[in-house]
Amino acid sequence: MKTPDSVAEALAGRFRIVLVGTQHPGNIGAAARALKTMGLSRLVLVAPEDYPAEEAFRRAAGADDLLAQAQVHATLAEAVADCRYVLGCTARSRRVALDELPPRQAAARALERGAEGEVALVFGRERTGLSNEELQLCHAAVHIPANPEYSSLNLAAAVQVLAYELRLALLESAAAPAGAAAGPGTGHEGPASHAQMEGFFGQLGQTLDDIDFHKGRTPDSAMRKLRRLFLRAALNEQEVRLLRGILADAQRMARLARGGAD
């Protein structure tokens, strides 16, 4: 039987913290420290501007083991390709059609999804945050409800807040009756991975072109809304296969209507 500790440990292993394009190595070190204090251990760096750097190791204090194991990727898409759930942390509301959650709700959601597969919490650059394209790769945005006139926390401080909320949620779930910590979805077909969803969105975009859905309008706004809709639905692998089968048929019919050979 699982002890509360082993449940917390198993779930903590499912979470990765992804820092995108970090400019100051000191923030990478401080983020590593923030994670370790909260029992998290997996740090992923996407195209850091200055890394490895002595300053990062200095600021990590006793968390340099975590830094030494940090994975480095060239793009966010690569860093989260195997994730089932991706949360993007933003200092301000963006004009991307994305659900926005406060940290506590985000941690609860992350824990639920962590029972089914890998979860990523993504943080942006000090100067410019995450780009809209990067936010589009996320299932939901997380905003710490800070002072609206001064809402941008230091990167490592934002990591600390989210890591703390995750820890609280983990401790709560570990204290809950056996079985509850596994969350919903256990025993069902697994949720679609990030890469599977991107494959689906690629085919959806192509199909909308094939059936002339946009009629000369740019496809961006419709695609953003559709992404939001399908990401909110938390599709499993079987559902994605079903939808892709429907799209394939629509594409075949469009080819026939154009008089092309099938």
In terms of CB distance, is 34 or 130 closer to ligand SAH?
A: 130
Tell me the HSE value of 92 on the side-chain side, using a 13 A CA sphere.
Answer: 14
In the complex, minimum distance from the CB of residue 159 to ligand SAH, in angstroms, rounded to a whole number = 8
Q: Is 130 in the site for ligand SAH (CB under 6 A)?
A: yes
Token pair for 23: 């400019």
Q: Is 171 in the site for ligand SAH (CB under 6 A)?
A: no
What is the rounded distance in angstroms from the CA atom of residue 42 to the CA atom of residue 64?
12
In terms of CB distance, is 100 or 239 closer to ligand SAH?
A: 100
Q: Is 126 in the site for ligand SAH (CB under 6 A)?
A: yes
What is the rounded distance in angstroms from the CA atom of residue 2 to the CA atom of residue 7?
6
Q: Is 30 in the site for ligand SAH (CB under 6 A)?
A: no
Which one of 92, 188, 232, 255 is in contact with ligand SAH (CB under 6 A)?
A: 92
Binding mask 134-163 for ligand SAH (x = CB under 6 A): --------xxx-x----xxx-x--x-----
In the complex, minimum distance from the CB of residue 53 to ligand SAH, in angstroms, rounded to a whole number = 18
Q: Is 26 in the site for ligand SAH (CB under 6 A)?
A: no
What is the rounded distance in angstroms from the CA atom of residue 107 to the CA atom of residue 105?
5
Neighbour tally for 220: CB within 10 Å? 10
Q: Is 123 in the site for ligand SAH (CB under 6 A)?
A: yes
Q: Is 215 in the site for ligand SAH (CB under 6 A)?
A: no
For residue 258, give every residue at least 6 positions away whose Cβ sits within 8 Å of its Cβ, in sequence order, or none: none
What is the rounded distance in angstroms from the CA atom of residue 143 to the CA atom of residue 56?
26
Token pair for 242: 């079903």
What letter would DSSP give residue 206? Answer: H
Q: Is 24 in the site for ligand SAH (CB under 6 A)?
A: no
Question: How many residues in the chain?
Answer: 262
Q: State the residues that interact with ligand SAH by CB under 6 A.
A: 89-92, 123-124, 126-130, 142-144, 146, 151-153, 155, 158
